[in-house]
């Protein structure tokens, strides 16, 4: 059976604009620019015939899912495994401060490498984030719908997409990816459509 998945990152929040990390522990809604971004994203997805949208429980993802759901007349289901990676003690901190305080972790976290056990103090490892996202996608693949939207977060998406050889790119707000599940296999077709 062929299933299409449209995976997208949430729109901008004030913390994104201020270059501060949110992670799982900061639960902000979208700012005005973020609202405009998700309207543009929703327009991109208007003709995809999305039947259901799975979303992280965090406000920024839910608000993004709501904009896409409205234009597609699709229900939203919350799936906890789609939540952003835990950035531990670095949540709420400015990106530049994190880079200065933890330069070795920073280089591995964002570097072009396959080191998956790196983590911020008291946070999840890249591998833990990836495994959680894989579990979520395998669960969604069991749903009866054939066209599925997925609202998630930058780090969660980044380390999930490493499974497909995409990365370790930083994710722009409302970054969009098209994945296909067919004959028990996942593939990444295109990004930012």
Domain boundaries, given as residue ranges, for the chain: 3-191
Q: Answer whether 6's CB lies under 8 Å from 48's CB.
A: yes
Check whether domain 3-191 has CATH 3.30.360.10, yes or no: no
φ, ψ of residue 33 to 5 degrees: the values are -65, -40
pLDDT tens per residue across span 110-155: 888 889 999 999 999 999 999 999 999 999 999 999 999 999 999 9
What torsion, rounded to 10 degrees, do the Cα atoms 71, 15, 89, 62 define? -10
Annotated catalytic residue 2: no
Cβ-proximal residues to 173 (8 Å cutoff; 6+ apart), any chain? 9, 10, 11, 12, 16, 34, 37
Q: Single out the catalytic residue among 10, 12, 145, 153.
A: 10
- pTM recorded for the entire structure: 0.95
Question: Is 10 annotated in the active site?
Answer: yes
Please write the tens of the pLDDT for every residue from 26-79.
999 999 999 999 999 999 999 999 999 999 999 999 999 999 999 999 999 999
Catalytic-labelled residue, pool 12, 84, 91, 124: 84
């Amino acid at each position: 059976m062929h299933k299409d998945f449209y995976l997208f990152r949430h729109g901008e929040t004030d913390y994104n604009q201020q270059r501060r990390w949110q992670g799982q522990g900061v639960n902000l809604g979208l700012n005005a620019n973020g609202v405009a971004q998700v309207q543009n994203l929703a327009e991109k997805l208007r003709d995809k015939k999305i039947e259901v949208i799975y979303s992280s429980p965090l406000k920024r993802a839910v608000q993004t899912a709501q904009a896409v759901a409205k234009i597609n007349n699709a229900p939203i289901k919350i799936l906890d495994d789609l939540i952003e990676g835990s950035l531990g003690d670095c949540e709420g901190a400015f990106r530049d401060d994190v880079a200065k305080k933890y330069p070795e972790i920073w280089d591995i976290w964002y570097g072009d490498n396959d080191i998956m056990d790196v983590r911020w103090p008291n946070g999840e490892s890249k591998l833990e984030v990836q495994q959680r996202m894989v579990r979520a996608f395998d669960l969604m693949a069991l749903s009866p719908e054939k066209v599925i939207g997925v609202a998630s977060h930058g780090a969660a998406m980044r380390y999930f997409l490493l499974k497909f050889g995409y990365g370790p790119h930083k994710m722009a707000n409302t970054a969009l990816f098209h994945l296909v599940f067919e004959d028990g296999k996942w593939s990444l077709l295109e990004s930012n459509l």
